[in-house]
Amino acid sequence: MALTDDERSIETIAMFWAHYDDDLVFANPTLLRALAEGHRAHTFFFTGSDAGKGVSEYAEGRERGIRAAYDTMRGAAGPWSDETLVLANGLFLTVTRPDGDDRISLSFLRLPDGGLRGGGYAATGWHSLPKVLNGELSEIRTIDDRQSVTLDQLHSTVAELVALHKPTIVITNYPGFEDPDGDDHPDHQTVGRVVSAVVETGIIPADMVRYAIGYPSARRPANIDPELLDRKLTVFAAYGANDPVVTRPEARDYLGVRGFGEWLQREYLVPHSEIGARAEG
């Protein structure tokens, strides 16, 4: 299911993702079509997407890449300005917006990437979101070591940002307690669990929430038509030019990247009512 085929308005999208590029890979072409139609998108990233490198040129490059991708989707290029948003729970986020276009904001908390096994990396103290969710850690440090973050603060951050942006749709990673087709990245699963727990409290109306199936989408049929796929690849290429792990010379070359080639040809968004959500985290 693509959100653009849904009956619900997408006037304002609030998104919550584990990593820079989850939105581009797993919630497109919904996102690019929404921006092309003049709608608003406010995106929050839990991790610094550092792949165990901590504060690094790699992580900073991925942030540049995500800005470049949003420039491509909005059809304009120019400077972005950063500001600090202090939340009621005491956390502070870096919020960046393209100058002159208040439809779009990207918010960064910069927690450590947990890796494919969910255990974290030595460079960031073996901290990870899955460890906070399962109680192994009571708090997690940001990669710049400026903040300690608890699970309760993650929940309240989601709630506060939804209240701030007043979305008509919320999109996030698919929660890990019910993976329909196989294993996903543990960070994806955890972010979905965090958001679904807030939904289960009633703070976020369940009917506005969609969960994007991540890595397991590769086992489902490709469902993006050629014209939209070309646009999606162009957007991802703008990001990929700043990510040395995936970068390729041409947009269509990304179809040959292991994993990404399958994920980019698919988009599956699942309503909250279909996941059998259990608010365990």
Is 280 a domain residue? no
Condensed to tens digits (0 to 9), the pLDDT of residues 187-234 reads 999 999 999 999 999 999 999 999 999 999 999 999 999 999 999 999
pLDDT over 90 at 16, yes or no: yes
CA-based R_g, the chain, Å: 17
Question: CA-to-CA distance for 260 and 216, rounded, in angstroms?
Answer: 12
At 182 the pLDDT is 53
User: What proportion of the chain, given as a percentage, has pLDDT over 90?
Assistant: 91
Are the CB atoms for 91 and 147 separated by under 8 Å?
yes
pLDDT in the model for residue 204: 97
Q: Are 23 and 169 in contact (CB under 8 A)?
A: no
Is 281 part of any domain? no
pLDDT tens-place string over residues 85-132: 999 999 999 999 999 999 999 999 999 999 999 999 999 999 999 999
**Number of domains the chain contains:** 1
pLDDT at 275: 84
Supply the pLDDT for residue 89.
Answer: 98
pLDDT band at 53 (very low <50, low <70, confident <90, very high): very high
Query: Global pTM?
Result: 0.94
Taking residues 244-260, what's their average pLDDT?
98
Residue 96 lies in a domain: yes
**pLDDT band at residue 150, thresholds of 50, 70 and 90?**
very high
CATH (domain of 179): 3.40.50.10320
Q: Which domain holds residue 215?
A: 3-272
